[in-house]
Structure 1
Amino acid sequence: MTGTDDTPLYTQFTAPDALPHGLAPALVDCWTEVSDAGGAAGFPFPPVDPVEVAAAVDRIVTGLDPAGSRLVVATVDGVLAGWLCLRRDPHPLVAHWGSLHHVQTRLGVRGRGIGAGLVRRAREIARDEMGLEQLRLAARGGAGLEDFYGRLGWREIGRWPGALRLAADDDRDEILMVLTPL
């Protein structure tokens, strides 16, 4: 990720046919890299099987829909640097809520504000384009994620103690967080 302009570009995709050629394999590579490094992005037990990751990416991509599911990606010099999913719950009682899933950045670009930029962009999309009023997420305890999201205005609203078992001697809390108002 080198070049003369290393400013991240944030792009959203709202339909499966909108993804440019090569983006889906790049999402798989990123997710595999992040998961194999112990990242809390949906596959808890490294090493992950790239075939399983590809199937999960395919489910995300085929589910893209302007009203309910968006993919937000960050690129630097045209190369994928990170991504996340933004979803609206379809149930009428909670359709004013959205949730973030699979927030991740490539290891080589960490510390450059790309993850924070993704979350900020998702907030803008949720508020300005999807008409959402609140966002929620669940984060793995013990990874410093509550601090990361806290710096971006999210607040912890609850925990499920020991909800996640990463190993026989490694239980983690699942931390529930909310961002409101948008």
Structure 2
Amino acid sequence: MTLTFTLDPVVDPSLRDGILALWADVSNAGGAVGFVPPVGLDDIRPALDEHLAGVARGGCRLLVAHDEGGEVAATAFLTHNTHRLQLHWVWAYTVMVHPRLQGKGYGRELMAATEAAARSIGNIDAIRLTCRGGHGLERFYASCGYKEVGRVPGGIRVAPGDDRDDVTMLLPLY
């Protein structure tokens, strides 16, 4: 299967619904994208609306991958920093691949497309992202060239008594 990546697509109701469904499917499969299962579309919708408002304002870029059937298969958001001393790097967040596609190399394709998107912005020296410890995500991102540059032990409370590390990863682009 081939994924088609689009940076800054037109956000219409169909795309919005596709991202919403993807986010729910990833979350309910145990993905570390800001929610804990079980989660419904109504739980996720406000977070997606906030993400898309950032896209509409121009401070955030959206990268979407569609599968051969036209379904939203993966996403990553890139956001610019607003502090004048941090304009040289971007954050990647809500990086997700549909569970039916995981383990088949599509995550690496998404990360390569994310890197290409960041490079296309111009004057960007690095991409930073955070991930939830306990999922092996650090190893995945490291295999894509990212380096762990920070860790807050127990920085993410998944549930009472279930704290995970908040891990910061960096990909230099120079």
Common topology (TM > 0.5): yes
- Conserved 8 A contact 2:6-2:64: yes
- Conserved 8 A contact 1:81-1:105: yes
Give aligned-pair identity as a percent: 35
SS class of match (1:63): helix
Structure 1 equivalent of residue 60 of structure 2 = 69
Instruction: Name stretches of at least 5 consecutive residues in structure 2 with no aligned partner.
Output: none
Of residues 88, 99, 121, the one that matches 1:129 is 121
CA deviation after TM superposition for structure 1 residue 27, in Å: 0.6
CA deviation after TM superposition for structure 1 residue 168, in Å: 2.8
- Supply the distance in 2 between the matched residues of 1:79 and 1:35 (Cα, whole angstroms): 17
- Conserved 8 A contact 1:74-1:114: no
Of residues 50, 53, 71, the one that matches 2:44 is 53
CA deviation after TM superposition for structure 1 residue 52, in Å: 2.8
Of residues 77, 81, 84, the one that matches 1:85 is 77
CA deviation after TM superposition for structure 1 residue 65, in Å: 5.3
Given the two structures, how large is their TM-score scaled by the length of structure 2?
A: 0.91
- Supply the distance in 1 between the matched residues of 2:151 and 2:42 (Cα, whole angstroms): 32
- Conserved 8 A contact 2:124-2:173: no
Aligned residues: 173
After superposing on structure 2, the runs of 4+ consecutive aligned residues of structure 1 that deviate more than 3 Å are none
- Conserved 8 A contact 2:119-2:173: no
**C-alpha distance after superposition, 1:10-35 (max 9, x if no partner):** 11116xxx224411001111101111
Structure 2 equivalent of residue 13 of structure 1 = 8
Structure 2 equivalent of residue 163 of structure 1 = 155
CA deviation after TM superposition for structure 1 residue 104, in Å: 0.7
Instruction: Name stretches of at least 5 consecutive residues in structure 1 with no aligned partner.
Output: 1-5
- Supply the distance in 2 between the matched residues of 1:167 and 1:58 (Cα, whole angstroms): 25
Change (3 A) 1:59 1:67: closer
Structure 2 equivalent of residue 113 of structure 1 = 105
Structure 2 equivalent of residue 22 of structure 1 = 14
Deviates more, 1:21-30 or 1:54-63: 54-63
- Supply the distance in 1 between the matched residues of 2:71 and 2:135 (Cα, whole angstroms): 26
- Supply the distance in 2 between the matched residues of 1:176 and 1:131 (Cα, whole angstroms): 21
